[in-house]
Amino acid sequence: MMLTVAAAYTAVLQTVRDMGTEVLPFEAATGRVLREPVRADRPFPPFDRVTMDGIAILYDSFARGQQIFGVEDIQAAGAPRLQLSNTANCIEVMTGAILPELTDTVIPYEQLEASDHGGFRRFAIAGDVTLGQNVHRKGSDVAEDTVLLSPGMLIGPAEAGVLATVGKTQVQVARLPRVAVIATGDELVPVAATPEEHQVRISNIYSLMASLQQCGITAVYIHLSDEEAVMRERLEPLLQETDVWISSGAVSAGKFDHLPAVLQRLGMQQIFHKVQQRPGKPFLFGTFTGGPVVFALPGNPVSGFMCFYRYVLPWLKAAMGAQETAPAYAVLQEKVTFNPSLEYYLPVKLQSLPDGTTAAVPQPYHGSGDLASLLSADAFMALPQDKHVFEKGSCYPVWKFR
Ligand code: AMP
Ligand code: MG
């Protein structure tokens, strides 16, 4: 029985296995999935931090009407904490310095007038002052020991800065799945070759490998001819030391579509073959016990592309323990009619509108062989199977690939 997209997706996610973890220097962890909580080793900020260059005073003195303050000392950033000895005086303070003891308020130079008084520097305050101004209070952002980063977060630029500031030099991240990408087809020639009229260059697997690269995964790849014996012989060694196979082609009804039989002979348990979707109907999925999970994607480029973002990528993310991302939705900008009883994945361009919604503009699309149609699109809009007419202005999920 041909599965619906929802059932196929559930079946795919049921096979998710934990890839385990590895420890990396934090500088090398960008783009990876964090697998441990990271706590604040100190309060944020770690001390009462001066936020403007100027003078630090005790507000009480100002409140009692004092306008002129003699300078006792200078508190530089990076210097240990000074103490004001006479609260009628001030200490010059620099941005990033610790606030001197017995002071609580910082007045910036812009609000001061300097003068010399018998070799002593003094500052007259112009304008109003509020208690505690220009002081970033210790712990006011984050208390010590707060969990700042949780397992499953993707480490990006903001996370890199936080890892650095808490001194987390070594960080536990998800191990990357070992992926093999498999091209099939006697019509395919290497990219550097000049194809004969009846040949095409291998392209799908480069899309797949580029998508994988965006998750930090470098895949190995092979190209299989359409001969059953050769396919088997070349696939068998890949059973070891790979977690995931992603193949392209040879899963439809053609005379040379041997891949389902070859996989079965190698011992793969087929979980499903064919899904009620367009493109990508011939998608086959299975697992080897103690071996790789197999995403056997159809050869048509748009089909493979759609299946990668709809099934493979969510599997990879789940296997790395990544936190789930909320589904995205967009508003269809044209009426679309689609008669087959299949879930329709329509290539669309996404545009943010001033009202905060996202518009989905269908792109010229000539079917699953139309690789170039993906150039102007950003996502597939998932149009549900139980309808045939999709009105302009209606809202549906989108699976983004850009
Ligand atoms: P298949 O699923 O093997 O019948 O292939 C469907 C279509 O996709 C055929 O036109 C193939 O030539 C094409 N195709 C399959 N694999 C690739 C590939 N790796 N690169 C480019 N085109 C491919
Ligand atoms: Mg083929």
pLDDT score of 200 = 97
In ligand 1, which atom is closest to the CA atom of 251?
2
> What is the pLDDT averaged over residues 91-112?
98
Residue nearest to ligand 1 atom 15, measured at CA: 299
Q: Which fold has domain 328-400?
A: Beta-clip (2.40.340)
Q: Which superfamily, per CATH, for 5-20+176-319?
A: MoaB/Mog-like domain (3.40.980.10)
How does residue 35 score in pLDDT terms, banded at 50, 70 and 90?
Answer: very high
CB 284 within 8 A of CB 259: yes
What percent of the chain is modeled with pLDDT above 70?
100
What's the average model confidence in pLDDT over 131-140?
A: 98
Average pLDDT score over residue span 32-40: 98
Our measurement of the distance from residue 317's CA atom to the centroid of its chain's CA atoms, rounded to an integer in Å, reads 10
Whether the domain at 5-20+176-319 and the domain at 49-136 fall into the same CATH topology: no
Average pLDDT over residues 187-208: 97
- The number of the ligand nearest the C-alpha atom of 205 reads 1
Count CB neighbours of 110 within 10 A: 10
Query: Is 90 exceeded by the pLDDT of residue 46?
Result: yes
Q: How far is CA 267 from CA 286, 289, 294, 323, in A?
A: 10, 8, 12, 32
Structure tokens at 387: 């309808």
Point out the ligand nearest to the CA of residue 183: 1
Query: What is the mean pLDDT of the segment spanning 143-151?
Result: 98
Amino acid found at 321: G
Rounded CA separation 200/183 (Å): 12
304 in ligand 1 pocket by Cβ < 6 Å? no
Q: Which architecture characterizes domain 49-136 according to CATH?
A: Beta Complex (2.170)
Q: What is the pLDDT of residues 257-290, one digit of tens each?
A: 999 999 999 999 999 999 999 999 999 999 999 9
259 C-beta closer than 6 A to ligand 1? no
Q: What are phi and psi of 93, to 5 degrees?
A: -130, 150
Task: State whether the beta carbon of 200 lies less than 6 angstroms from ligand 1.
Answer: yes
Please state the separation of Cα 213 from the chain's center in Å.
12
Token pair 């009846």: residue: 198
Cα(96)–Cα(78) distance, integer angstroms: 8
Express each pLDDT in 332-376 by its tens digit.
Answer: 999 999 999 999 999 999 999 999 999 999 999 999 999 999 999
pLDDT at 204: 96
Protein residue whose Cα sits closest to atom 11 of ligand 1: 299
User: Which ligand 1 atom sits nearest the alpha carbon of residue 187?
Assistant: 12
**How far apart, in whole angstroms, are the C-alpha atoms of residue 210 and residue 39?**
34
Q: What is the pLDDT of residue 1?
A: 82
Which architecture characterizes domain 22-44+140-174 according to CATH? Alpha-Beta Complex (3.90)
**Does 197 have pLDDT greater than 90?**
yes
Strand order through the sheet with 120-125: 105-108, 54-57, 90-93, 68-75, 120-125, 112-117
CB atoms within 10 A of CB 118: 5
Residue ranges of domains in the chain: 5-20+176-319, 22-44+140-174, 49-136, 328-400
Give the chain's mean pLDDT.
97
Pairing of strands 147-149, 38-39: antiparallel
- Write down the pTM of the prediction: 0.94
CA dist., res. 330 & res. 289, Å (int)? 40
- What is the pLDDT confidence band of residue 233, given thresholds at 50, 70 and 90? very high
**Closest ligand 1 atom to 223 CA:** 19
Query: Does the pLDDT value for residue 386 go beyond 90?
Result: yes
**Ligand nearest, relative to CA of residue 223:** 1
> Mean pLDDT, to the nearest integer, of 160-182?
98
Cα 222 to averaged position of ligand 1 atoms, centre (Å): 14
Residue 371 backbone dihedrals phi, psi, to 5 degrees: -60, -40
28, pLDDT greater than 90:
yes
Which residue from 181, 200, 257, 305 has its CB within 8 A of the most atoms of ligand 1, so it is best to mutate?
Answer: 200
Predicted local distance difference test score (pLDDT) of residue 112: 98
Q: Is the CB of 250 under 6 A from ligand 1?
A: yes
